[in-house]
Each structure stands twice: as structure tokens, then as C-alpha cells.
Amino acid sequence: MKRLALATMMTMAAGVAMAQSPPPVPAFEPAVLHAQVLLDRHGFTSGVIDGKGGAALMKALRGFQTAKGLPVTGKLDAVTLRALNPNMRPATVTLTLSDRALAGPYVNPTPKEYADQAKLPTLAYRSPLEKLAEMFHTTPATLVALNSSETKLRAGTSVVFPNVLPASRAYPGDLSETYRKTLGDLNVDATQPQADRVVVDKSEGWLRAYAGDRIIAQFPATMGSATDPLPIGKWTIKGVAANPDWQYNPAILKRADKSDEKQVVPPGPNNPVGVVWIDLSKPHYGIHGTPEPEKIGRTESNGCIRLTNWDAARLSLMVKPGVPAIFQP
């Protein structure tokens, strides 16, 4: 592998010509990044960990506070911070890159047309930097900000990451070896509480998992659009498809060109449905991952419920066939 600096890899991941300057590295707030890391570890995520405040962080804090019986302020107050971090866990961890962490395959650029995507063996990450960012639930820009822009992405290099390392990677034995690797690569903890229902709230823009009256997880979600609205009602989870392909069928997609041919897009983290599909009793609808985690909650979908790959993978360990999925306005 070429020894490329983080700033150069950021340019490649963005699909920008190498002759151009890399995008500027945005500033981040260390306290906000720490809160995002802690919330992620508790299962109340704000999407990507980027050290930026905003509505997603406030919703994550409100969800955590509600679950823990704390005053619901949506703010990182002293009481909430103590509940989030009783063991004084640091926000970041420094790790030495391995050949395994940097291993491909990579596909750059990702073709825009589904017909061209269908010709590929996989829809893999575009670069090692994109892969590392997703492994640690963050963005390429945030990794550059946490490190020197001249940090070389090669085995043996020390790199600072958000501290989302799981306590366990002892994933259930009935999962495929490939999916266990996917879960490990995404730093999804193997020990997850079991949900007895999932609630998707359109107005709030989140998905919550419950066990009885207790909220056990909350994730930001993209759901529906004007042409493909979220199907309000009570549905049931039918099963989980790990590392799925995706079938582009213009006959059932309202915004598709009806003259297009059907296509089967291969599996991979940059597949349109990401690393996992949680099938629902509503035909053609599911809860799934995404190739663009930074856009969760900010863009529209074809009616399905889209999460970051790591949140969708985490949810896949929390649900079983028959679990109700309630979609509310």
C-alpha cells in the first residue's frame, strides 16, 4: 500500500482530483466529542461522532436522560455527565494501525448508476480513511482533526480515534463468519439488551428500542419522503439479512425512471442499504444501514428507515423475528 497522509486520503475519499487541495479540516468541540462517544457507548447515538453540537446531540441527550430518569434538559449538565461517565472513560484512544485494519478491497470512485454498480463484485469503502472513520463511528474530517494531517496511513502508525471500542466481540455463533467480521470491524459490542418492540417516530426523527417500559437504545434515522412517506402503523420484524445485496426495481420505486432495467447491486458497506437489512412485514420496507452516515436525519429515503451502518448492525443484535415495529407520526 502507498504511504498516504490523512489529508491526502481525505481528498481521495471525497472523490476529489489529487491535484486539488484537500478540504479544510473543521474545528470540533472536545467536550461535545466526548459526550457523543459516551452516548454512543450507552446506545443513544447522535449519528456520526464529529464534535459538533446541534439537534441530533440534543435528541440523544434527551433520550438518555429519559431512559435514566434524569431531568430531561437536552443539555450536557453535571448530572447527565456523571451518569454517562461513572468510570471516567476518556474520549479518545490511540491505536497502532495493522495491515488488517487497512486491508481492502476499495472501490473509488463508486459508480453513480446502479447498472454500473451491479457490475462490481462488491460496493466496498472508497479508501482506508473512509473505512477507519466508519470503524470508529466518525467522519474522515474528524479523524484528520484528531491527528496530524501528515499522519501516514500505514501499518505501525499510531492514530487517535474516538473511544468506541467494544467490551466484547463474542458474537452469537449462529451468525455467519462474514457478519461477525462486519460487526467487529464496526466496533459493535456483542453484548446487547434484547428489545421487545421498536418505535419509529417521524416527528422526532429517531428510532427507539424498548424492553418493557425502558428505553434501551435510541438512534437518529432517515425515514420516508413526500413521494414515499413512512408507512404509519404497526408492523412486525420478519428477519435480518446480513451484508445484503440490493435489488433496484424501478417498478416499485416511485422516483425511479420506469424505463430502467432491474439491477442487483452487490453487498458491501457502500451498498444502498449498507451492511444489514432488517425486514418488515410491510412489503418492500425495512430498517437498514447507509453508505452515507453523515446524511442520516438530513436527507430523504424511499420510505424505509435508514440508520448509520453501526447503529443498524447494533439493532440487528437486539431484535428477533416477531418483534413489533411501530411507526408513529
Per-residue confidence band for 81, with pLDDT thresholds at 50, 70 and 90: very high
50 neighbors 36 (Cβ within 8 angstroms): yes
Per-residue confidence band for 15, with pLDDT thresholds at 50, 70 and 90: very low
Of the chain, the percentage scoring pLDDT greater than 90 comes to 79
The secondary element (H helix, E strand) that includes residue 42 is helix 30-42
The residue ranking higher by pLDDT, 302 or 55, is 55
Q: Regarding beta strands 206-211 and 197-201, do their DSSP bridges make them parallel or antiparallel, or are they unpaired?
A: antiparallel
> If you average pLDDT over residues 44-58, what whole number do you get?
96
The residue ranking higher by pLDDT, 249 or 196, is 196
Per-residue confidence band for 17, with pLDDT thresholds at 50, 70 and 90: very low
Would you state the pLDDT for residue 16? 37
Q: At which residue does the C-alpha cell 496511513 appear?
A: 153
Closest to 135 (Cα-Cα) out of 309, 315, 318, 306 = 309
The residue ranking higher by pLDDT, 163 or 22, is 163
pLDDT over 50 (residue 19): no
Per-residue confidence band for 26, with pLDDT thresholds at 50, 70 and 90: low
Gyration radius of the chain's alpha carbons = 19
> How far apart are the C-alpha atoms of 207 and 185, rounded to whole Å?
23
pLDDT over 80 (residue 237): yes
Residues 100-126 have pLDDT tens digits of 999 999 999 999 999 999 999 999 999
Residue 237: exposure state from Cβ atoms within 10 A (0-12, 13-18, ≥19): buried
pLDDT over 90 (residue 93): yes
Lowest mean pLDDT among 5-9, 47-51, 55-59: 5-9
> If you average pLDDT over residues 32-36, what whole number do you get?
97
* Strand stretches in 2-60, DSSP E: 4-5
The residue ranking higher by pLDDT, 70 or 225, is 70
Per-residue confidence band for 248, with pLDDT thresholds at 50, 70 and 90: confident
pLDDT over 60 (residue 3): no
Residue 285: exposure state from Cβ atoms within 10 A (0-12, 13-18, ≥19): buried
* Summary mean pLDDT of the chain: 90
pLDDT over 60 (residue 269): yes
The residue ranking higher by pLDDT, 223 or 19, is 223
